[in-house]
Amino acid sequence: MDRSWITAPRISEAYQHGVEEFLSFAEIHSATTDGNFFCPCVKCVNGRRHLLDDIRSHLICDGFSPTYTKWIWHGELVGHTATCPPHPVELQSGDLMEDMIRDLGQEGFRECHADIYDALQTDAHTPLYVGCKSFTRLSAVLALVNLKARFGWSDKSFTELVLLLKNMFPEHNSLPKSHYEAKKILCPVGLEYQRIHACPNDCLLYRNEFLDMRFCPTCGLSRYKANIGEGTEGSATASSRPTKVCWYLPIIPRLKRLFASEQDSKYLRWHIDERRMDCMIRHPTDCTQWKTFDSLYPSFAQEPRNLRLALASDGMNPFGNLTTNHSSWPVLLMIYNFPPWLSMKRKYMLLSVMIAGPKQPGNDIDVYLAPLIEDLIKLWVDGVEVYDANAKQSFNLRAMLFCTINDFPAYGNLSGYSVKGHHACPICEKNTCYIQLTHGKKIVYTRHRRFLSRNHPYRRLKKAFNGDNEVEIAPEPLSAHDVYQRVRDIETTFGKTQKKDMSAKNIWKKRSIFFDLPYWCNLDVRHCLDVMHVEKNVCDSLIDTLLNIKGKTKDSVKSRQDLVELGIQEQLHPVLRGARTYLPPACYTMSTAEKKSFCHCLANVKVPQGYSSNMKRLMPIKELKLIGLKSHDCHVLMQQLLPVAIRGILPEKVRNTITRLCFFFNAICSKVIDPSQLDILENEAAIIFCELEMLCGPVYLRWMYPVERFIKVLKGYTKNQYRPKASIVERYVAEEAIEFSSNYITNAQPVGVPQNRHQPSSQGRGTRGFDVVTMNLQRLSQAHLYVLNNTAEVMSYLHSHKNQLSAKNPRMNKMRLLQEHNRTFVNWFRQCIFADATAFETLRLLALGPNLNVPTWQGYDINGYAFYTKSQDARSTMQNSGVSVEGEAAHFSSVSDNNPINASMPYYGVIEDIWELDYGQFRVPVFSCRWVHANTGVRKHKMGFTLVDLKNGGYNDEPFIMAVQTRQVFYVEDPSDPTWSVVIQGKKFDMTDYSHYAPFDVTDIPHVNDQIPVIEATDEDDVEHAMRHDHHEGLWENNDT
């Protein structure tokens, strides 16, 4: 084959013809990975894999590598060439427009919207331009609006783009000229929504019997705004504007559309067909409430496609930061039938109600939930007929509300319980123990020792708590039937202006509308508190108090004066010294040196890519405080970094308590929970709360991180500042239509399931710092030997070689035998393979050994991690070079030891080089690491931390590991001893490869310790621990004049 075209001008016909010949040759002869081939352009130099179309673009734009004349990485054998005439391929559209229109046309759509249906049919058969075989007018518009929704283009930018494309395409093309025209084409795919007028005081919705009213029968306010120059307020005209509107997006047609998608309807059966069942809690299906409900309602449980829904709501400001006194409340539904990696994704979260501001609905939220509850009752009692595209049959769909997800204030709005005041605990109710502080003017809730076991030593302590021992037991939580008995006779008049009857103070404010659901009384857990808000509040309060942030610390003059009032903790009472008040250092009061150590530790933390924010930006060391902490920053701090940062500072008892609190949050946030550990965790929570005085499935499916992210998306929909809620609903409905149509467009990505830029494949790919280096034969042999020792196909040869050596040298001890095996195996293996004509091609390539010219990288993505070399880490704000591998090896006590112990243990190290060993038809990525000596450089702390001495190296003759074996870790310098570093597990990327379930066994923030360490509690009434004696840096406050 003539390859002189490689050096020809890229615009020449010969060069372009040669490129097509090369691509045809590679497609036939080269080994492919998911349709990707090595790219021989001058920039990639066979270091990266791309699709053929991308390779064509690279070769035309950048040029063909002039030295690559033997196409060995594309299937050409040395000394042989081959030709392959290019074959023309007629492009055809792979879009399923007919299927989409068929699914859209179910249930009389065609009869009810004949003109719209005919327009869709016409657009689906109209080519984009004369001779176009890839796109029709409809598919082109749907593909473009899909890109618009995924990347957040504005309407104006979209209009400019379609105008540019229309001018680029041949004349008389059918592409629309503006976003408005594209939207008109998209409209038939969208679902309906209802605009329901509401009383501005939240008294009622103008529907059903109130539909034709002009004034609210409760408060008397007009339904309509008064127009200038028109008659009396409240008179309805064609231009009348309602004073307040609630948007309801009916859930039944949206649930039907889910089942109209073959893939989505398959996922809705995941919890029955594909869920792993191993007695661990991975999904709400594994929890007690799901199983109890199935036993109570077997007819519902018999149909696995019946839906279990969760409801979440929270306030948001649609104007962003432009105003702070506006609160709109979206009501969202999540579907627990989906796999855990989909159920909380934006695509599958349903916006059902949009409650307009500017004031939050508060206790009157039931008024706005009424249309949703009516549909939920219909779905429970009668069900609806739905077509299942996966099963190709219709069935009667039913649904139930599994729980609500909310923060504590929203808990009160949804449940009807008063979460403020003296009896704010919905578990203890009137048995809530509280103290109204005289000076602090706050209510504190006490006597947590009631939740301890009857014989716990803390119950006998007096001075360390409130001066008395504790003999009472914890009150029994109210069941749903008990709650219903308390609220069933409460008569509630909704509305902001209604005076409440204060004669009988009832801590239950209303009978919640959820009790209209026939099954609500049989749910053990009806309202789930959001761990995200709880964790952030705890983290903020804890750090503000430890660092004594003025105005935010919980340790103030007033709190110390309340100690005086209560007559407890005398050693912490404030001392008047002239015009100032001295507060003696409490056990949690840090000295200036300790604050600097704490801040220095956090400021110098370098975490892996995508793990958290850059802590250095949040920690100005001179100010000794944390600034701008987001919810996820608090999540990472509480679960990983805070226990490390306080090592070596604070008294041991305080340090252990804070560490165990952090481990508790880490344990309950795990994506896989052992049910046998739940009682232990509950008891541990009670113990931790006592030491500080002195939670239906995994938490990650019940916290509000996805809800808050979705609310942020809704805020971004506010393009009309005068009609924010209408703008949000319109754009949400448009996105629903785009999501539906994306199922029928080739290569269209879903909007609400973001694609990760990192490759989830275990084969991995290089990301930065590519080079080709001619390697030293000795180092290359080390890497090659490791690959052979860890390849499954070679295992039988390894055993045979060891047996031959043992038979040949019966008096040689096992350490010498192992050394001789490592020295001679490569040559012996090559001879065996070449002598065997039946050996597989993979074994032959392994026997030949790798190419001396080794592709190297500075960054590599594999196993869901992004790895860097140490030198690349030094130029980065992240730490991606830490690795850990679980290795099984023979451990010898001495040179003459003939009884080695085979044990598996973790090894920790830092990546120095990343290689791809080239075996011709495949490459094997390996990491060359500097390892920490496992015996003298690794130790385990009693609190569960793994500590390593990174300067204590070992195993210099075995630096290589296969990249596929690695896990990522990162190291944080131990504040108590800088020689040592604390090992923390890295976090895998959020994979969306649904065919692999294994990644979801990994917790979002991995455990520092497998179990919460147990600290023995004593009944020694030690009050001295409440005060610091190792420093006298108390707090000074100016006296009020």
Dist CA 86 CA 26 (whole Å) = 11
Instruction: Report the pLDDT value the prediction gives residue 192, as an integer from 0 to 100.
Output: 82
β-pair type (399-406, 938-940):
unpaired
Over residues 337-344, the mean pLDDT reads 88
Question: Of 25, 24, 52, 28, which Cα lies nearest the Cα of 38?
Answer: 52
Residue 397: band (very low, low, confident or very high) from pLDDT cuts 50, 70, 90: very high
Residue 308: band (very low, low, confident or very high) from pLDDT cuts 50, 70, 90: very high
Dist CA 468 CA 462 (whole Å) = 5
Which of 75-84, 148-157, 510-519 holds the top average pLDDT? 510-519
Given a contact cutoff of 8 angstroms between Cβ atoms, the answer to whether 931 and 961 are in contact is no
CA torsion, ordered 600, 603, 605, 610, to nearest 10 deg? 170
* pLDDT at position 846 over 80: yes
Quick one: what percent of the chain has pLDDT higher than 70? 83
Helix (H, G, I), strand (E, B) or coil at 374: helix
Q: Which residue has the higher pLDDT, 896 or 157?
A: 157
Instruction: Read off the pLDDT of residues 266-304 as tens digits, 9 standing for 90 and up.
Output: 999 988 888 887 777 788 888 888 889 999 999 999 999
Out of 467-481, 566-580, 595-609, 661-675, which region has the weakest mean confidence (pLDDT)? 661-675
Instruction: Report the pLDDT value the prediction gives residue 84, as an integer from 0 to 100.
Output: 40
Question: Of 67, 71, 9, 64, which Cα lies nearest the Cα of 42?
Answer: 64
Instruction: Report the pLDDT value the prediction gives residue 998, as an integer from 0 to 100.
Output: 36
Task: Tally Cβ neighbours within 10 Å of residue 236.
Answer: 12
Task: Measure CA 655 to chain center.
Answer: 29
- What pTM does this model have? 0.78
Please give the mean pLDDT across all residues of the chain. Answer: 81
Given a contact cutoff of 8 angstroms between Cβ atoms, the answer to whether 528 and 696 are in contact is yes
Instruction: Read off the pLDDT of residues 684-720 as tens digits, 9 standing for 90 and up.
Output: 666 545 544 433 456 667 777 788 887 788 877 777 7
Q: What DSSP state is assigned to residue 858? A: S
Question: Of 310, 332, 986, which Cα lies nearest the Cα of 713?
Answer: 332
Dist CA 304 CA 827 (whole Å) = 59
* pLDDT at position 485 over 50: yes
Residue 994: band (very low, low, confident or very high) from pLDDT cuts 50, 70, 90: very low
Instruction: Read off the pLDDT of residues 100-157 as tens digits, 9 standing for 90 and up.
Output: 666 665 544 444 455 566 677 777 778 888 888 788 888 888 888 888 888 888 888 8
Instruction: Report the pLDDT value the prediction gives residue 1002, as an integer from 0 to 100.
Output: 32
Find the DSSP H helices in 567-704: 592-603, 615-618, 631-636, 642-645, 652-668, 678-693
Given a contact cutoff of 8 angstroms between Cβ atoms, the answer to whether 971 and 879 are in contact is yes
Instruction: Report the pLDDT value the prediction gives residue 885, as an integer from 0 to 100.
Output: 92
CA distances from 730 to 156, 722, 724 (A): 17, 14, 10
Residue 85: band (very low, low, confident or very high) from pLDDT cuts 50, 70, 90: very low
Cα-Cα end-to-end distance for the chain? 97
Residue 458: band (very low, low, confident or very high) from pLDDT cuts 50, 70, 90: confident
Burial bucket for residue 199 (CB in 10 Å: 0-12, 13-18, 19+): buried
Dist CA 882 CA 1014 (whole Å) = 29
Over residues 954-966, the mean pLDDT reads 90
Over residues 456-477, the mean pLDDT reads 82
- Residues listed for the chain: 1041
Instruction: Report the pLDDT value the prediction gives residue 854, as an integer from 0 to 100.
Output: 92
Instruction: Read off the pLDDT of residues 790-838 as tens digits, 9 standing for 90 and up.
Output: 888 888 888 898 888 888 888 777 778 888 888 888 899 888 988 888 8
Instruction: Report the pLDDT value the prediction gives residue 892, as an integer from 0 to 100.
Output: 58
Dist CA 342 CA 269 (whole Å) = 13
Instruction: Read off the pLDDT of residues 167-190 as tens digits, 9 standing for 90 and up.
Output: 888 888 888 888 888 888 877 777
Instruction: Report the pLDDT value the prediction gives residue 1009, as an integer from 0 to 100.
Output: 56
Please compute, for residue 72, the number of CA atoms within 13 A of its CA located in the half-sphere on the CB side: 13
Q: Which residue has the higher pLDDT, 997 or 968?
A: 968
Residue 33: band (very low, low, confident or very high) from pLDDT cuts 50, 70, 90: low
Q: What DSSP state is assigned to residue 41? A: B
Cβ neighbors of 116 (< 8 A, separation 6 or more) are 187, 188
Instruction: Report the pLDDT value the prediction gives residue 900, as an integer from 0 to 100.
Output: 66
CA distances from 562 to 538, 581, 584 (A): 22, 15, 15
Residue 995: band (very low, low, confident or very high) from pLDDT cuts 50, 70, 90: very low
β-pair type (882-891, 967-973):
antiparallel
Instruction: Identify how many contiguous H helices and E strands the chain contains and give both numbers.
Output: 31, 30
Instruction: Report the pLDDT value the prediction gives residue 80, as an integer from 0 to 100.
Output: 44
Instruction: Read off the pLDDT of residues 545-561 as tens digits, 9 standing for 90 and up.
Output: 888 888 888 888 888 88
Please compute, for residue 419, the number of CA atoms within 13 A of its CA located in the half-sphere on the CB side: 14
- What is the crossing angle of helices 652-668 and 678-693, to 10°? 140
Token pair recorded at residue 480 = 């749903």
Task: Measure CA 101 to chain center.
Answer: 34
Dist CA 742 CA 747 (whole Å) = 9
Instruction: Report the pLDDT value the prediction gives residue 29, as an integer from 0 to 100.
Output: 77
Burial bucket for residue 50 (CB in 10 Å: 0-12, 13-18, 19+): middle
* pLDDT at position 909 over 90: yes
Residue 901: band (very low, low, confident or very high) from pLDDT cuts 50, 70, 90: low
The sign of the torsion formed by the CA atoms of 739, 305, 250, 355 equals negative
Instruction: Read off the pLDDT of residues 215-226 as tens digits, 9 standing for 90 and up.
Output: 998 888 888 887
Residue 401: band (very low, low, confident or very high) from pLDDT cuts 50, 70, 90: very high
